[in-house]
């Protein structure tokens, strides 16, 4: 089948003839109609996570899929051929930039019926990231104050809407040209990162979702009230994360050293810092699909590419500037 893959870390994404997916007993075989792209795809290509998420090559890239079920494994009862589904395949089983992919049924949900296949394909990774940050870790609720960085990006556009649904007051950072759009999504305060310093504008926040890391994360913790929570999706990873992943003692020491400064600052400020590397979860996707069909969450697709243009689509992520998600349509 046709697929876009890499032959090693830092090698170019290219088309190749790949083997058909092997259907396991708990798998759903999906004809790919849309594959959302994420910065995670580029980071995997660059080898940024190889210490705790190594891959054997060649690797078909792609972490988001929407499409139609072709057939199912012997133990699958919740899906059948012809179902329209979406999923974020679990780590080490990615590969949505292909004509077909086999995904564990636990990672799959029926796609929202009210949106296009491109919009459904844009959702899984970013919506799960927002859900796991805001609902699981942050336990965000009515009356809380939430700061979401990079509000016009893939995660940001969904997180703003979800935070408003949870009853929070939402501030976000973005370029000025996106301010009106983000207010339409539900943002109460929009900070133009080019002309304003969010750390001087905001104070007493309960929760921050940081997608930039570095100095931005350190400043973000200063806008939190004591007892507040900062979730970072760009790092640095923490020893708790290393323990959950079952990493070896050497890697745990390295990760501990990388995050020591941030953890020390969090302790001094009386706040909590958590690193989130989102996980696949079909049950959560089913809840998200319900919110989409109820009109609570609107997918934001800023650019679509034909299947043949997958390398150009991936390259566009590094340039930035796209509202919401970039989606590659099926072959």
**CA dihedral over 109, 307, 60, 297, signed as positive or negative:** negative
Q: Where are the domains of the chain?
A: 2-123+299-329, 126-275
**CA dihedral over 265, 266, 269, 270, signed as positive or negative:** negative
Residue in the structure block whose two tokens are 């139609």: 68
Pairing of strands 145-148, 108-110: unpaired
- pLDDT tens over the chain, length 331 residues: 999 999 999 999 999 999 999 999 999 999 999 999 999 999 999 999 888 888 999 999 999 999 999 999 999 999 999 999 999 999 999 999 999 999 999 999 999 999 999 999 999 999 999 999 999 999 999 999 999 999 999 999 999 999 999 999 999 999 999 999 999 999 999 999 999 999 999 999 999 999 999 999 999 999 999 999 999 999 899 998 988 888 888 888 988 898 999 999 999 999 999 999 999 999 999 999 999 999 999 999 999 999 999 999 999 998 888 999 999 999 8
Q: What pLDDT is stored for residue 167 in this prediction? A: 98
CA 281 vs CA 58, 92, 113, 187, 197: distances in Å = 25, 15, 19, 27, 36
Q: How far apart are CA 237 and CA 275, in angstroms?
A: 5
Q: How far apart are CA 108 and CA 65, in angstroms?
A: 10
Topology at the third CATH level for domain 126-275 = Rossmann fold (3.40.50)
Question: How many Cβ atoms from other residues are within 10 Å of residue 253's Cβ?
Answer: 13
pTM: predicted TM-score of the whole model, two decimal places: 0.97
Burial class for 227, CB neighbours closer than 10 Å (0-12, 13-18, 19+): exposed
Residue in the structure block whose two tokens are 């919401």: 324
* 270 closest CA partner among 301, 217, 233, 230: 230
Q: How far apart are CA 328 and CA 39, in angstroms?
A: 14
Q: What pLDDT is stored for residue 18 in this prediction? A: 97
- Token pair in block for residue 72: 């199912």
Q: What pLDDT is stored for residue 321 in this prediction? A: 87
Q: What pLDDT is stored for residue 180 in this prediction? A: 98
CA 95 vs CA 55, 86, 91, 327: distances in Å = 12, 14, 10, 14
Q: Beta partners for 5?
A: 14, 60
CATH of domain 2-123+299-329: 3.90.180.10
HSE-CB of 29 using CA atoms within 13 angstroms: 14
Q: What pLDDT is stored for residue 235 in this prediction? A: 85
């Amino acid at each position: 089948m046709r697929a876009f893959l890499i032959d090693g870390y830092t090698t170019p994404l290219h088309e190749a003839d790949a083997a058909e997916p092997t259907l396991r007993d708990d798998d759903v075989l999906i004809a790919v109609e849309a594959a959302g792209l994420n910065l995670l795809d580029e980071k995997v290509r660059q080898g940024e996570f190889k210490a705790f998420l190594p891959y054997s090559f060649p690797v078909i890239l792609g972490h988001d899929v929407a499409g139609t079920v072709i057939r199912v494994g012997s133990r699958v009862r919740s899906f059948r051929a012809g179902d329209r589904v979406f999923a974020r395949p679990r780590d080490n089983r990615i590969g949505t930039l292909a004509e077909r992919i086999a995904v564990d049924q636990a990672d799959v949900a029926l796609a929202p019926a009210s949106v296009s296949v491109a919009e459904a394909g844009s959702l899984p990774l970013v919506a799960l990231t927002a859900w796991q940050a805001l609902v699981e870790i942050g336990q965000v609720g009515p009356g809380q104050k939430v700061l979401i960085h990079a509000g016009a990006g893939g995660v940001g556009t969904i997180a703003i809407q979800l935070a408003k649904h949870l009853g929070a007051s939402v501030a976000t950072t973005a370029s000025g040209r996106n301010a009106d759009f983000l207010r339409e999504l539900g943002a109460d305060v929009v900070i133009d990162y080019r002309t304003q310093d969010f750390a001087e504008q905001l104070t007493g926040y309960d929760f921050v979702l940081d997608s930039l890391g570095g100095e931005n994360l350190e400043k973000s913790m200063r806008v939190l009230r004591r007892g507040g929570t900062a979730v970072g999706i760009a790092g640095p990873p923490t020893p708790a994360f290393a323990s959950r992943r079952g990493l070896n003692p050497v890697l745990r020491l390295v990760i501990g050293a990388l995050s020591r400064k941030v953890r020390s600052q969090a302790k001094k400020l009386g706040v909590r810092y958590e690193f989130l590397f989102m996980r696949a979860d079909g049950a959560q996707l089913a809840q998200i699909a319900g919110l989409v069909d109820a009109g609570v969450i609107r997918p934001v697709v800023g650019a679509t590419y034909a299947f043949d243009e997958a390398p150009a689509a991936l390259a566009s992520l590094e340039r930035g500037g796209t509202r919401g998600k970039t989606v590659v349509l099926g072959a």
